[in-house]
Structure 1
Amino acid sequence: MSSNEKAVSTEYLKVIKSRFISMKDTAEKTFEQLDDQDLFWYPNENSNSIAVIVKHMSGNMISRWTDILHSDGEKPYRDRDGEFEHTISSRKELYEVWNKGWDVFFKAIDSLTEEHLLHVIYIRKEPHTVIEAIERQMYHYSYHIGQIVYIAKLLKSDQWRCLTIPRNKKSTS
């Protein structure tokens, strides 16, 4: 790997970690705006509560990122269907489940080096480079964070505090 390629790879790892941290922070700022019961609300049987989304994300993170370089990302012990059952019963438990997944994820990201990025790994027996796996999860996690924010905005309505640039305000950046 040339020094330029190494620099690009190092920058990539730094940037993606920053993006995932930002994503996690966005969800946590959303949780802070909600009453406990809001975390468990869902509009109908075909929809998920924030607690269920958290449980699913955590289950995905633990499966995908445990031993990422040496075992399939869909672990035999994962109960994906069970992730969509309403079993989290408190805010404290929600944060425990949430942080357990993110801890596994960030530990794996922190263990990656530039040389790992083009390494082929497997998710559901399908080959992916580590870059592809990271980008796959970037899409997946941001999709669910968006759902979390949207549910919260529906619930809070006029009491919602914007997490980015409020409407009718100009950005200075």
Structure 2
Amino acid sequence: MTDLFIKRFKYYKMLGDKSFEQLSDEQIFWQFNEESNSIAIIIKHVAGNMISRWTNFLTEDGEKPWRVRDEEFINTFKTKDEVLDYWEKGWKCLFEALNQINEENLNATIYIRNEAHSVIDAVFRQLAHYPYHIGQIVFIAKMLKNEDWKTLSIARNKSEDFNNEMKNNFK
């Protein structure tokens, strides 16, 4: 089961990675208005959540006392590289934790903000949370790139071609 979790999380990480590749330093920090989040801020939040949730996840509450969630919504990054380094740090923490999951602890009780979760429920919780924010990242990136956007999925008006290719791949 861990392999399935890792596969799904890697897919969403790839969507983020391929979005970042298309963006300049300035675009990573762009905000629509004061109430909206830049891609850098979304990354800061997602990675901050990952580091808190998955550090010692089997033995400590997922909301660590050292995490200051509200500060994740204040940009402190100076460069795109800093942002992406933090993104990678979060994913590294997540994948290391997922590799600790096995049949014996899959249904173990862990805590997030003192709320009991099975390990599998905690994974599903994060499989809903991270893609939500990665969708925001992709949407912002797509708006910023406009006609220069390189699609991350099936190109517009190419569904039939894609389906035929998939059929041919599995014959």
TM-score interval (norm. to shorter): over 0.9
**Tell me, what secondary structure is at the counterpart of 1:163?**
coil
Query: Structure 1 residue 151: deviation in Å?
Result: 0.2
Match of 1:135 in 2: 124
Structure 1 outlier segments of 4+, above 6 Å? none
Tell me whether 1:69 sits opposite 2:58 in the alignment.
Answer: yes
Tell me whether 1:112 sits opposite 2:101 in the alignment.
Answer: yes
Aligned residue identity for 1:127: A
Structure 2, unaligned runs of 5 or more: 167-171
Match of 2:48 in 1: 59
RMSD of the alignment, in Å? 0.8
Match of 1:80 in 2: 69
- Give the aligned length: 162
Match of 2:169 in 1: none
TM-score (norm. length: structure 1): 0.92
**Tell me, what secondary structure is at the counterpart of 1:121?**
strand
Query: Structure 1 residue 111: deviation in Å?
Result: 1.2
1:157 and 1:92 map into 2 onto residues whose CA distance is 23
2:87 and 2:67 map into 1 onto residues whose CA distance is 16
1:111 and 1:128 map into 2 onto residues whose CA distance is 16
**Tell me, what secondary structure is at the counterpart of 1:161?**
coil
Aligned residue identity for 1:153: K
Tell me whether 1:160 sits opposite 2:149 in the alignment.
Answer: yes
2:69 and 2:102 map into 1 onto residues whose CA distance is 29
**Tell me, what secondary structure is at the counterpart of 1:19?**
helix
Query: Structure 1 residue 88: deviation in Å?
Result: 1.1
Aligned residue identity for 2:67: R
TM-score (norm. length: structure 2): 0.93
Tell me whether 1:46 sits opposite 2:35 in the alignment.
Answer: yes
Match of 1:145 in 2: 134
Deviation string for 1:85-105 (max 9, x for gaps)?
011110110111111111111
Aligned residue identity for 2:141: A
Structure 1, unaligned runs of 5 or more: 1-11
1:114 and 1:41 map into 2 onto residues whose CA distance is 44
